[in-house]
C-alpha cells in the first residue's frame, strides 16, 4: 500500500506544470486571472465604476487557500486585499472623475505563486467648470489681491492658471481641487480676470473650460512725484542745471523713497525731497527721472532736456587719402560751433598723442608719414568743454620693391608655361605688367599677397631672356625686374639605337653595346626593351643626350629584336627603330667545324685512293699471272685489250730481275718478284731502263 501511495505521488508531481503547488496535504494551480471594468471602459463624469478582478484556481485538499489581490493603475498600487474565498475582487470607483482615467490590471498571489491579468483602460470624460473667487473687488494702487480658483468635485493632480485676458498672472500645480494665490496690479483701472485648470493623468491631460470673469477696480493713490529743471529753455553746453525732485499730496512720510537719475545714472536720492546741480553737456543723455517708491507702489515723473552744443565733436581727416612712407601728408581737425555763444578763435585743437606733425593753422597739421601705422586723435577744447574725435589710423603704404621674375614650374619649348612675377614688399594692390623686350603683353592687379602668373609660349630657347616684369602700386615709380633667366627644356626628338659591333660581326662571346642617342635637354631617362617583354631590360638617367647598355659575353639566347625609349622633363616619350640582333657562332667554333670537315673530306679522299690502288694492283697481278702461264703470242694478242679496259688510270709496271746467277729454263714462267704501282700524276718510268725480258711484257701506256 505504501509503495502504491509513493507511485501515485510521483505521478502527480510529474503531471502538474510549474504553476502547481504540491505537498503532502494539498495541490493547487492558478489557471487564469482577468480584469474587467463595469459598466464600460468609457464613461462620463459621475458614473459609478467597478473594477472586477476574477481568478480561476484549481486546488486539491481541504485547506483554504489565502489569496492576495492587488490592483494597479499604471505602475502604482491603488488597492490590495487578502481573501480566503474564490469570490471576485471588486474595486469600486464611485462618482468617477477624469483623474480616474488610466490603465488598470490586477495580480493574484497564492503562497508565492503570482499571475497578472491583461491591462484594461478606463476613460472618464467631462470636467466641472472652475469657480474664481476674490476677497474683494476694489483695491488701492499697490494693494495685494487674494484669488482662489476651485475645480468642484475634481481629484488628482491639477494645474491651475489665473489669467487677465490672454496674459497668465499666476499658475501652479496642486493635488487638491483648489488653488490660492496673491498678486498686485501695476496699472490703475478696471481689470477682468478668470481661471481654468488641467487634470493630469500621465501620460494624458485634460483641460477644463474657463471660469467666470471677475472685474477688479484698482484706484490710484493721490501721492505723486514732481520733477523741476532750471533753466527750462535754451540750454547750452556748459550751462548749470538745477534739478528738483519732490512729492505732491504727501499724507504721511512713512516708507517713502525718492530717486533722481539721468538716463541709467543715479544722481541722488532722499525721502521727501532731492535737489541736485550739474553742468549741461550735449554728450550726456538729457532724460531725467524722479521716482517715488512707497511699499509696492512706484510712481515716476520724467523730463527731457535739450542741450545745444557749443561746438560739435571734431572730425579728423587726412589728405591725400592714401599716403606712402615718408611722403608729406596733412591732418585736418574741424568742429561746427554755436557762433552766438562761441568765437572760433576760442576753440583750440590739438593732436593726441604727441606727433612730429607741425600745426599750419587752427586744426591743420602737416608732416611726413611715418614708417609704421599710427593712431591720431583730435582734441577740441572751449569753455571747459573737451571733445575728442574718433581715432584716425594712418597706415602709410609701402612702395613696391623691384619685382622678381621666375618660371613657375618648368619652361618647355613649344608648350605653354607660367612666368611668376612678385615683389618682396609693397602695399596692395600691386599692378604687375609682363614685357617682352619693351612690349607690354599684359597686366594683372594683385589684391592678395600672392604672385602674378602670366602664361606664355616660346619657340626658341633664347626667347626666355626677352621677358621682364614691372610692378607698380603708386603714381610714381614702377621698378622693372631683371631679364628672365631660366632653363628651357627642349623636348626630345630623333632617338636612334646604334649597335656595336656591327650586326654581321656579332658572335658568341662578344661584348655588345646598345647605344641610345637623342636630341633634347638632359637629364634624359633611357630605357632599353626587348620585343616580347613588357618590362625594360635596363633603365638609367643620364646628364648627356646619349648612353649605352652593355651585354657582356653574348650567347645565342641574346638574339632578338631590341629598341629603346627616352624621356626628359618635357614628358614627351620618344622611341627608336627596332634593331634585330642575330648572335653567330664564335670563330674558334667555325675553325673546329671547318677542320673537322676538311679532315672528313681528306679521310674520304685517301680512302678512295687506297681503294682504287688496291683494286689496280689486284688487276695487274692477275694479268701478270695469266701472261706468265700463256705462250708469248697469246700474251701479246691480249695485251692491248687489257690495257684498254682501264682508260682513266695511267700506270707502270716495274719488274725487278732476279738476282744475278739465277738460272731459268726456256719454258719456265717468269717470277718478277715485282712491285706494281700506279702513278696518278701521269709520270711513268722509261721502258728502256728495264731488262729486255721485262720490257717485252710491260703493258703499253695509255695517253
Alpha helical stretches, state H, 344-411: none
The residue to which cell 695509255 is assigned: 702
3-class DSSP state of 689: helix
Last residue of a domain, one of 394, 419, 453: 394
Last residue of a domain, one of 581, 609, 635: 581
3-class DSSP state of 124: strand
Alpha carbons 339 and 343: distance in angstroms, whole number = 6
The total number of structural domains in the chain stands at 6
Q: What are the b/e assignments for 304-324, b being 16+ CB within 10 Å?
A: ebebebbbeebbbebeeeebb
280 close to 237: Cβ distance less than 8 angstroms: yes
Domain holding 168: CATH number? 2.60.40.10
pLDDT at 252: 66
Average pLDDT, rounded, for the chain: 82
Residue with the bigger pLDDT between 550 and 13: it is 550
Task: Assess whether pLDDT exceeds 90 at residue 673.
Answer: no
**Which of 196-200, 234-238, 252-256, 301-305 is predicted with the least confidence, judged by mean pLDDT?**
252-256
Task: Assess whether pLDDT exceeds 90 at residue 604.
Answer: no
pLDDT at 517: 95
pLDDT confidence tier of residue 602, bands split at 50, 70 and 90 = confident
Q: What is the DSSP string of 36-48?
A: EEES-SEEETT--
Residue 344, C-alpha cell as written in the block:
572760433
Task: Assess whether pLDDT exceeds 90 at residue 402.
Answer: yes
Burial (CB count <10 Å: 0-12, 13-18, 19+), residue 526 = buried
Say if residue 371 is in the same domain as residue 407.
no
Domain assignment of residue 600, yes or no: no
- 632-644 helix and 587-629 helix, angle to the nearest 10 degrees: 160
Per the DSSP assignment, residues forming a β-bridge with 552 are none
Alpha carbons 455 and 418: distance in angstroms, whole number = 4
Last residue of a domain, one of 469, 488, 507: 488
pTM here? 0.44
134 close to 169: Cβ distance less than 8 angstroms: no
Domain assignment of residue 690, yes or no: no
Task: Assess whether pLDDT exceeds 50 at residue 665.
Answer: no
The string of pLDDT tens digits covering residues 21-62 is 444 445 888 999 999 999 999 999 989 999 999 999 888 876
- 356 phi and psi angles, rounded to 5 deg: -75, 5
Task: Assess whether pLDDT exceeds 80 at residue 407.
Answer: yes
- Average pLDDT in the 404-413 region? 94
Say if residue 207 is in the same domain as residue 283.
no
- Average pLDDT in the 500-517 region? 91
Say if residue 565 is in the same domain as residue 523.
yes
Say if residue 152 is in the same domain as residue 232.
no
Say if residue 364 is in the same domain as residue 380.
yes
Say if residue 461 is in the same domain as residue 479.
yes
Query: Which region, left, alpha or beta, applies to residue 363 given φ > 0 means left and ψ of -120 to 50 means alpha?
Result: left
Alpha carbons 293 and 259: distance in angstroms, whole number = 8
**Which of 382-391, 456-465, 614-623, 661-670 is predicted with the least confidence, judged by mean pLDDT?**
661-670
Burial (CB count <10 Å: 0-12, 13-18, 19+), residue 598 = exposed
pLDDT at 587: 64
Domain holding 359: CATH number? 2.60.40
Domain assignment of residue 540, yes or no: yes
Alpha carbons 622 and 416: distance in angstroms, whole number = 106
Per the DSSP assignment, residues forming a β-bridge with 172 are 160
- Average pLDDT in the 666-680 region? 36
Alpha carbons 165 and 219: distance in angstroms, whole number = 20
The string of pLDDT tens digits covering residues 611-630 is 777 766 565 465 445 444 55
Percent of the chain with pLDDT strictly greater than 70: 82
pLDDT at 472: 93
Residue numbers of the domain that contains 264: 224-308
**Which of 72-81, 345-354, 434-443, 637-646 is predicted with the least confidence, judged by mean pLDDT?**
637-646
Say if residue 414 is in the same domain as residue 437.
yes
Domain assignment of residue 594, yes or no: no
Say if residue 245 is in the same domain as residue 268.
yes
Residue with the bigger pLDDT between 258 and 665: it is 258
Domain assignment of residue 342, yes or no: yes
3-class DSSP state of 53: strand
Say if residue 136 is in the same domain as residue 193.
yes
Domain assignment of residue 2, yes or no: no
Domain assignment of residue 653, yes or no: no
β-pair type (167-174, 178-183):
unpaired
Domain assignment of residue 65, yes or no: yes
The string of pLDDT tens digits covering residues 166-199 is 899 999 999 999 999 998 887 888 999 999 999 9
- Average pLDDT in the 99-112 region? 92
Fill in the DSSP letter of residue 355: -
Say if residue 499 is in the same domain as residue 553.
yes
Per the DSSP assignment, residues forming a β-bridge with 301 are 290
Say if residue 215 is in the same domain as residue 232.
no
- Average pLDDT in the 279-299 region? 86
Say if residue 143 is in the same domain as residue 101.
no
Amino acid at each position: 500500500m505504501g509503495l502504491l501511495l509513493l507511485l501515485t505521488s510521483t505521478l502527480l508531481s510529474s503531471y502538474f506544470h510549474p504553476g502547481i503547488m504540491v505537498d503532502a496535504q494539498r495541490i493547487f494551480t492558478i489557471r487564469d486571472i482577468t480584469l474587467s471594468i463595469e459598466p464600460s471602459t468609457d464613461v462620463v463624469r459621475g458614473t459609478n465604476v467597478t473594477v472586477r478582478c476574477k481568478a480561476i484556481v484549481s486546488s486539491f485538499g481541504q485547506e483554504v487557500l489565502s489569496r492576495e489581490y492587488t490592483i494597479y493603475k499604471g505602475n502604482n498600487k491603488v488597492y490590495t486585499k487578502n481573501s480566503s474565498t474564490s469570490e471576485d475582487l471588486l474595486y469600486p470607483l464611485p462618482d468617477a472623475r477624469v483623474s480616474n482615467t488610466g490603465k488598470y490590471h490586477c495580480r493574484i498571489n497564492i503562497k508565492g505563486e503570482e499571475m497578472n491579468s491583461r491591462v484594461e483602460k478606463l476613460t472618464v470624460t467631462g470636467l466641472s467648470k472652475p469657480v474664481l473667487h476674490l476677497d474683494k473687488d476694489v483695491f488701492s494702487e499697490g494693494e495685494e489681491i487674494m484669488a482662489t480658483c476651485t475645480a468642484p468635485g475634481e481629484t488628482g493632480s491639477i494645474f491651475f492658471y489665473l489669467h487677465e485676458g490672454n496674459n497668465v498672472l499666476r499658475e501652479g500645480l496642486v493635488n487638491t481641487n483648489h488653488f490660492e494665490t496673491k498678486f498686485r496690479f501695476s496699472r490703475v483701472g478696471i481689470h477682468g480676470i478668470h481661471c481654468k485648470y488641467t487634470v493630469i493623468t500621465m501620460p494624458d491631460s485634460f483641460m477644463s473650460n474657463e471660469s467666470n470673469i471677475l472685474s477688479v477696480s484698482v484706484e490710484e493713490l493721490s501721492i505723486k512725484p514732481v520733477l523741476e529743471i532750471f533753466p527750462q529753455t535754451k540750454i547750452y553746453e556748459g550751462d548749470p542745471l538745477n534739478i528738483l525732485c519732490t512729492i505732491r499730496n504727501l499724507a504721511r512720510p512713512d516708507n517713502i523713497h525718492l530717486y533722481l537719475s539721468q538716463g541709467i545714472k543715479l544722481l541722488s536720492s532722499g525721502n521727501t525731497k532731492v535737489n541736485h546741480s550739474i553742468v549741461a553737456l550735449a554728450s550726456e543723455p538729457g532724460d531725467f527721472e524722479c521716482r517715488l517708491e512707497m511699499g509696492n507702489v512706484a510712481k515716476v515723473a520724467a523730463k527731457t532736456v535739450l542741450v545745444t552744443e557749443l561746438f560739435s565733436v571734431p572730425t579728423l581727416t587726412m589728405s591725400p587719402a592714401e599716403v606712402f612712407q615718408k611722403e608729406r601728408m596733412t591732418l585736418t581737425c574741424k568742429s561746427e560751433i554755436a557762433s552766438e555763444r562761441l568765437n572760433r578763435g576760442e576753440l583750440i585743437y590739438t593732436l593726441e598723442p604727441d606727433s612730429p606733425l607741425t600745426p599750419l593753422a587752427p586744426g591743420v597739421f602737416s608732416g611726413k608719414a611715418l614708417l609704421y601705422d599710427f593712431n591720431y586723435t583730435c582734441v577740441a577744447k572751449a569753455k571747459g568743454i573737451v571733445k575728442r574725435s574718433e581715432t584716425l589710423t594712418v597706415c602709410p603704404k609701402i612702395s613696391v620693391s623691384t619685382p622678381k621674375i621666375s618660371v613657375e614650374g618648368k619652361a618647355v619649348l613649344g608648350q605653354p608655361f607660367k612666368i611668376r612675377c612678385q615683389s618682396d614688399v609693397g602695399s596692395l594692390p600691386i599692378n604687375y605688367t609682363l614685357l617682352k623686350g619693351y612690349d607690354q603683353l599684359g597686366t594683372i592687379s594683385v589684391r592678395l599677397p600672392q604672385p602674378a602668373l602670366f602664361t606664355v609660349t616660346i619657340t626658341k630657347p633664347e626667347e626666355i631672356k626677352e621677358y621682364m616684369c614691372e610692378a607698380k602700386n603708386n603714381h610714381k615709380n614702377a621698378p622693372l625686374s631683371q631679364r628672365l633667366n631660366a632653363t628651357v627644356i627642349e623636348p626630345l626628338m630623333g632617338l636612334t639605337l646604334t649597335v656595336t659591333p656591327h650586326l654581321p660581326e656579332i658572335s658568341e662571346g662578344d661584348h655588345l653595346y646598345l647605344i641610345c642617342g637623342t636630341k633634347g635637354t638632359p637629364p634624359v631617362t633611357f630605357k632599353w626593351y626587348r620585343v616580347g617583354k613588357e618590362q625594360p631590360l635596363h633603365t638609367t638617367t643620364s646628364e648627356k643626350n646619349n648612353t649605352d647598355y652593355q651585354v657582356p659575353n653574348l650567347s645565342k639566347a641574346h638574339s632578338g629584336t631590341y629598341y629603346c625609349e627616352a624621356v626628359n622633363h618635357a614628358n614627351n616619350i620618344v622611341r627608336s627603330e627596332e634593331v634585330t640582333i642575330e648572335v653567330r657562332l664564335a670563330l674558334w667554333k667555325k675553325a673546329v667545324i671547318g677542320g673537322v670537315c676538311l679532315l672528313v673530306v681528306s679521310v674520304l679522299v685517301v680512302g678512295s685512293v687506297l681503294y682504287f690502288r688496291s683494286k689496280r694492283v689486284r688487276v695487274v697481278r692477275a694479268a701478270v699471272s695469266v701472261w706468265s702461264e700463256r705462250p708469248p703470242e697469246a700474251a701479246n694478242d691480249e695485251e692491248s685489250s687489257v690495257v684498254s679496259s682501264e682508260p682513266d688510270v695511267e700506270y707502270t709496271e716495274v719488274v725487278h730481275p732476279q738476282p744475278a746467277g739465277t738460272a731459268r729454263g726456256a719454258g719456265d714462267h717468269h717470277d718478277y718478284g715485282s712491285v706494281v704501282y700506279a702513278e696518278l700524276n701521269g709520270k711513268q718510268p722509261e721502258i728502256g731502263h728495264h731488262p729486255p725480258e721485262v720490257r717485252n711484257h710491260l703493258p703499253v701506256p695509255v695517253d
